[in-house]
Amino acid sequence: MDLRGSIEMYLNKVFRCALHQRSRTLASLNFQGKRASQIRHSTTSTVDADGVSFEPNRNFVTKLEFLEPKIEDAIPIYRVFDNAGKVIDPSQDPQFSDDTLIRMYHAMKTLNIMDQVMYDAQRQGRVSFYMTNYGEEGCHIGSAAALDDQDLVFGQYREAGVLMWRGFKLEEFMDQCYANLNDPAAGKQMPVHYGSRKLNFVTISSPLATQMPQASGAAYALKRTHPGLCVICYFGEGAASEGDAHAAFNFAATLNAPCLFFCRNNGYAISTPVGDQYKGDGIAARGPGYGMLTIRVDGNDTLAVYNATSKARQIAVAENRPVLIEAMTYRVGHHSTSDDSSAYRSVDEVDYWSRTDDPIARFFRYMVNERKCWSEVQDKAFTKDSRKKIMTAFKNAEKRNKPSPSLMFTDVYKEIPPHLQQQQKEMIDHVRAHKDHYPLDRHEPI
Amino acid sequence: MAGNLAKFSTGILKGIFRNATFKPVSSVLTQKRNAHFVFKPDQPSTKFGPTEKMSYLQSLTSAMDISLREDPTTLIFGEDVAFGGVFRCTKGLRDEYGSDRVFNTPLCEQGIVGFAIGAAVAGSNVIAEIQFADYIFPAFDQIVNEAAKYRYRSGGLFECGKLTIRAPCGAVGHGGLYHSQTPESYFAHTPGLKVVIPRSPIQAKGLLLSCVQDENPCIFLEPKILYRAAEEEVPTGNYTLPLSQAEILVEGKDVTLVGYGTQIHVLKEVAELAQTQLGVSCEVIDLVTILPWDRETVCNSVAKTGRLVVSHESPHTGGFAGEIASTVQKECFLNLEAPVERVCGYDTPFPHIMEPFYIPDKWRCLSAVQRVIDY
């Protein structure tokens, strides 16, 4: 850079500083007499007394040109194996032991069978609501396997596989969906709003994206109290349109929080296709704007998801910075049991994905063809056994009583304040006096 | 600022309102004479150890200082808190405790509260600041749907009880629509939250420390007009004052006056005026905590006096006075000698130049006392 350029850069740095710190403008008026070397030094020294650094790049252009978003030159999708389960670049194979591969496969497959059972249960009116994970099992298991089990998970609602990987019991899933007395939250939330203190999986809530800035805050807190751990935050591409997503990215980046943002881009937010959701290059393209490391992965490639998450985790923990992972996948199932997706997308489209690009099938082919550690016969036996375990858990959960209605008043506050004690008593007295009108038979005593 | 800006240094003045420009000190002084209340310090007490003269804002700094000192997980953050805050409430704290514990956030209220909830969930003690209560609404979802319901929905597996949100609120003489609101009743409708409004430096410190230690998320609303106007002898050490406990400040037998925050100072003056001008004895109660509120103290008082006037700056319809009035008519129906009077802000946005006509000042309150007596 020539002297003139340096001076211009310095001038502009001073100008920026001045905007922020008016009191310092006077001191900076002396710069013109300085030698070139000193000026150069000034341009690189962009940290003021408060440790605030100002943007050093002040390159000017004299040609009027708007920056065009590079949609056609999209961020590429990282992949380890193809649809046939064949590893494309052997250096990228994480070389799991057979046991680990089988464990990963078991988790995906079990989740898939549980989804079938619970979806049908909702159709039969046995649980009030359900959301399947079809087509996104690879995102869950691939990322969960790359984490430390102590890492704190903030999810949206379609990440049951993370819990499955961490050892959430089948009956724990069912107890929550059935809202029975074994649900730690006493049936207060809708089905699939799981949570586990023991497994460091923060309880799901329905409002979308609210967990995102919370994840940033939790990561910041953990950085101070439990260095070496990080937070992972899952969300869909629809939720990424919420203001809270913007807050989360910006806070995590500016406050150096070791947080992994994992976006499941499955093409739809209920009926809304991505074309109605955003105009840019997906969610990943937003990462660099916030100063975040970013990668896009094939979400149906469990090994690619694993590699990306594993590396992201290393970086986040070592460098105290957030990383954005956008996993491209496809929501094979309906949005929820309250949704019939054929109203807004073709059956052919769904068939295409479930036939040609299913994470479980791809992983199966990798295990059978590449690693030769699994077979059709083993698969049939496992499926049968798994279904049986799920049905047992299902029946047990269904049989259990619902919680005592009195628990409606617990956990509003740490303590039960006097006005709530009074309302609790009023409810109990009322229900006792009008027993016939309330479904007391399935509940624990009031 | 109603005149209290006179004590601000010019450097501090810059940041008081977003987009604010310098205010000539002379106009500030003029306004001081127009303040709609007079702050009278509480009787000095050494109940909590040695005291020191502190303004309302200094007492808050003192509380935060103690919290940072005694709990290594305490974090304080918000917009512009690092340099001391636009009201100087966090002055000196970053230098003392480091920039990883007292820090600026990006300008985004939903982010501040969401971030704060997350840090509290992960075990940190959090005091988050919203620069003006008027700007808390972007965080309404995080506060109402998340913070308030965290423990309930998880059955206590996760909670954010270590969260306290501080926000300057209330009329300030010239704050207009967005530097004057007190949003207490929006939050009073939200089970799971505690909402507190202290009237004085002693209270502000003791209650802030209570909120910080309380195992529930608390919204701590600070009437900013008191920041510099209110000065009294405040205990220098760690002490707490009870939440959900109203305080009878003036005993009386004819009418109960209930309010909170700045309005308490108005009501105390009303009680004096009622005595001298009408010969009426008023009992003045500071509600202190809006949620969960102290029904017992208020109802006992009304059972005794038979008359109630409730007053707050925020608008009438849906205001917290309505909740108090309906509870009192249920609990004290046989004792009431007159309908409950509510003296509140009108059901308009908070106006700029019309503020003197908008606020429930002592003359409006005194008229209400007259009405309940004459009924």
pLDDT per residue over B88-112, tens digit each?
Answer: 999 999 999 999 999 999 999 999 9
Non-local CB neighbours of B69 within 8 Å, separated by 6+ positions: B97
Partners of residue B13 in chain A, C-beta under 8 Å: none
> B114: which chain A residues are within 8 Å (Cβ-Cβ)?
210, 212-214, 216-217, 244, 247-248, 251
Which chain A residue lies closest to B193 (C-alpha atoms)? A413
Indicate if the pLDDT at residue A27 is higher than 70: no
Same domain, A300 and A413: no
Residue of B nearest to A242 (CA): B110
Residue A392 in tokens: 């047992």
Q: Give yes or no for residue A10 having a pLDDT over 50.
A: no
**pLDDT over 90 for what percent of chain B?**
89
Decide if B275 is inside a domain.
yes
- Residue type for position A46: T
Contact B131, B77 (CB under 8 A): no
**B207 in any annotated domain:** yes
pLDDT at A279: 95
Specify whether B180 is located in the same domain as B270: no
Q: Residue B167 in 3-state DSSP?
A: strand
> Does B43 fall in a domain?
no
**C-alpha to C-alpha distance for B190 and A228, rounded to whole angstroms:** 37
- Residue A79 in any domain: the answer is no
**CA nearest neighbour of A305 among A241, A376, A234:** A234
Give me the long-range contacts of A3-6 (CB less than 8 A, separation at least 24).
A3/A36, A3/A39, A6/A36, A6/A39, A6/A40, A6/A43
Chain A residues within an 8 Å CB radius of B128: none
Which residue, B235, B267, B287, sits at the end of a domain?
Answer: B235
A82 within a domain of the structure (yes/no): no
Inter-helix orientation angle A243-254/A211-225, to 10°? 20
Q: Residue A328 contacts by C-beta under 8 Å, 6 or more apart in sequence?
A: A77, A265, A282, A296, A297, A298, A299
Distance CA A266, CA A283 (A): 12
Where residue B24 falls among pLDDT bands split at 50, 70, 90?
Answer: very low
Asked if A180 reaches chain B (Cβ–Cβ under 8 Å), the answer is: no
Q: Are A411 and A189 in contact (CB under 8 A)?
A: no
- In the block, tokens 């009431």 appear at B336
Give residue-wise pLDDT tens across range A271-284. 999 999 999 999 99
Task: Let me know whether A135 and A241 are in one domain.
Answer: yes
Residue B34 lies in a domain: no
**Structural domain contains residue A76:** no
Over the stretch B124-148, which tens digit does the pLDDT of each residue have?
999 999 999 999 999 999 999 999 9
B204 & B251 share domain: no
Residues A381-387 have a mean pLDDT of 98
Whether B196 shows a pLDDT value over 60: the answer reads: yes
**B108·A246 Cβ contact <8 A:** yes
* CB-CB contact of A161 with A100 (8 Å): no
Q: Report the alpha-carbon distance of residue B180 to residue A244 in Å, rounded.
A: 26
Which CATH number do you get for residue A264?
Answer: 3.40.50.970
The enclosing domain of B119 has a CATH number of: 3.40.50.970
Q: Are residues A286 and A325 in the same domain?
A: yes
B179 is catalytic: yes
From chain A, pick out residues whose CB is under 8 angstroms from the CB of B142.
210, 213, 244
State the DSSP string of A121-144: HHHTTSSS-----TT-HHHHHHHH
What average pLDDT is seen over chain A? Answer: 90
Q: State the DSSP H helix or E strand holding residue B32, giving kind and residue range, or none if neither.
A: helix B25-32
Residue B6's pLDDT is 36
B223 and B251 within one domain: no
What contacts A407, CB < 8 A, 6 or more positions away?
A186
A119 with A255, same domain: the answer is: yes
A364/A381 same-domain check: yes
Distance CA B59, CA B63 (A): 6
Interface of A with B in 333-392 (CB under 8 A): none
Tokens of A129: 């609501």
Residue A354: per-residue pLDDT: 86
Long-range pairs, B325-333, Cβ under 8 A, ≥24: B327/B295, B327/B298, B327/B299, B328/B298, B328/B299, B328/B302, B331/B295, B331/B299, B331/B302, B331/B303, B332/B299, B332/B302, B332/B303
Say yes or no: A36 and A109 in one domain: no
Residue among A154, A186, A247 whose CB faces B108 most closely: A247
Residue B4 domain flag: no
A92 DSSP assignment = G
Q: Does the distance separating the beta carbons of B216 and A414 come in below 8 Å?
A: yes
Tell me the average pLDDT of chain B: 92
pLDDT at position A274 is 96
Whole-number pLDDT of residue A267? 95
Residues B322, B229, single domain; the answer is no
Cα-based distances in Å from B92 to A56, B88, B99, B127: 30, 9, 11, 16
Angle at which helix A376-399 crosses helix A170-178, to 10 degrees, equals 40
Q: Averaged over B13-28, what is the pLDDT?
A: 40
Give contacts of A 9-48 with B, CB under 8 A: 23
Q: Are residues A184 and A43 in the same domain?
A: no
Q: Are residues B275 and B355 in the same domain?
A: yes
Tell me, yes or no, whether B322 lies in a domain. Answer: yes
Say if residue A274 is in the same domain as residue A421.
no
Best of B9, B77, B121 to substitute, by most chain A Cβ atoms within 10 angstroms, is B121
Residues B222 and B192 in one domain: yes
Q: Under a CB-based contact definition with an 8 Å cutoff, are residues B211 and B243 in contact?
A: yes
In the residue annotation, B109 being an active-site residue is answered as yes
Q: Report the distance separating Cα A55 and Cα A409, nearest Å.
A: 53
B104 min Cα distance to partner chain A (Å): 9
Confidence of residue A24 (pLDDT cuts 50, 70, 90): very low
Within 226-245 of A, beta carbons closer than 8 Å to B belong to 231, 243-244
- A65: domain range? 3-71
Q: pLDDT for B281-326, tens place per residue?
A: 999 999 999 999 999 999 999 999 999 999 999 999 999 999 999 9
Sign for the pseudo-dihedral over CA of A193, A195, A200, A202 = positive
Q: For A212-249, what is each residue's pLDDT tens digit?
A: 999 999 999 999 999 999 999 999 999 999 999 999 99
The neighbour count for residue B19, using CB atoms within 10 Å, is: 4
CATH code (residue B261): 3.40.50.920
Examine the domain organization and report whether A261 and A139 are in the same domain: yes
- What angle is formed at CA A213 by the lines to CA B207 and CA B72, rounded to 5 degrees? 45
Phi and psi of B333, rounded to 5°?
A: -55, -45
Choosing from B235, B255, B286, the residue where a domain stops is B235
CB A217 to CB B215 under 8 A? no
Residue A84, in any domain of the structure: no
Pairing label, strands B231-235, B194-196 = unpaired
Q: Does B141 touch chain A (CB under 8 A)?
A: yes
Q: Is residue B29 part of a domain?
A: no
- Same domain (yes/no): A200, A279: yes
Query: How many folded domains does chain B comprise?
Result: 2
> Does residue A395 share a domain with residue A415?
no
Residues B166 and B220: beta-carbon distance below 8 Å: yes
Q: How far apart are CA B252 and CA B274, in angstroms?
A: 11
Q: What is the pTM of this model?
A: 0.90
Residue A407, SS3 per DSSP: helix
Candidates B103, B105, B122; nearest CB to A218: B122
Which residue range is the domain that position B156 belongs to? Answer: 51-235
Q: Are B256 and B285 in contact (CB under 8 A)?
A: yes
**Final residue of a structural domain among B198, B215, B235:** B235
Tokens of A45: 């020294």
Are B280 and B163 part of one and the same domain?
no
> What residue of A is the nearest CA neighbor of B11?
A23
Assign B86 to helix, strand or coil: coil
User: Which A residues 47-76 touch B at CB under 8 Å?
Assistant: 50-51
Note whether B191 contacts A: Cβ–Cβ < 8 A: yes
Q: Are residues B72 and B204 in the same domain?
A: yes
Q: What pLDDT sits at residue A54?
A: 60
Q: Does residue A85 lie within any of the structural domains?
A: no
Statement to judge: residues B228 and B251 lie in one domain:
no
Residue A254 in this model has a pLDDT that exceeds 50 = yes
In a domain, A388, yes or no: yes
Any domain includes B109: yes
ipTM value, please give it.
0.91
Residue B34: per-residue pLDDT: 62
**A220 CA to chain B: closest CA distance, Å?**
7
Partner-chain residue, chosen from A184, A202, A255, that has the shortest CB–CB distance to B155: A184
Composition of chain A by helix, strand, coil, percent to 5: 50, 10, 40
Based on the fold, state whether residues B194 and B303 are members of the same structural domain. Answer: no
Range list of H helices, A255-357: 274-277, 302-319, 347-356
Chain A partners of B146 at a C-beta cutoff of 8 Å? Answer: 205, 207, 210, 214
3-state secondary structure of B102: strand
* Domain annotation covers residue A43: yes
**Residue A259 Cα distances to A127, A249, A319, A409, B3, angstroms:** 35, 9, 11, 35, 46
Q: Does B110 touch chain A (CB under 8 A)?
A: yes
Q: Considering only alpha carbons, which residue of chain A is nearest residue B155?
A: A185
Judged by DSSP in three states, B353 sits in coil
| Widest Cα–Cα separation across chain B | 60
**Where residue B43 falls among pLDDT bands split at 50, 70, 90?**
confident
Interface contact flag, A414 B292, Cβ < 8 Å: no
Is B298 found in the same domain as B277?
yes
Least CB-CB distance to B153: which of A23, A189, A217? Answer: A189
Q: Locate A323 and state its tokens.
A: 């990383």
How much is the average pLDDT of A77-96? 97
The verdict on a CB contact (< 8 Å) between B159 and A222 is no
Q: What's the CA gap between A323 and A301, in Å, rounded?
A: 19
Please give the Cα distance from B171 to B181 (Å, whole number). 7
Q: What is the pLDDT of residues A32-69, one digit of tens each?
A: 334 333 433 333 334 444 555 566 677 899 999 999 98
Tell me: do B194 and B319 sit in the same domain: no
A186 and A311 part of one domain = yes
> Under DSSP, is residue B246 helix (H, G, I), strand (E, B) or coil?
coil
Residue A436 lies in a domain: yes
Could you give the number of structural domains in chain A? 3
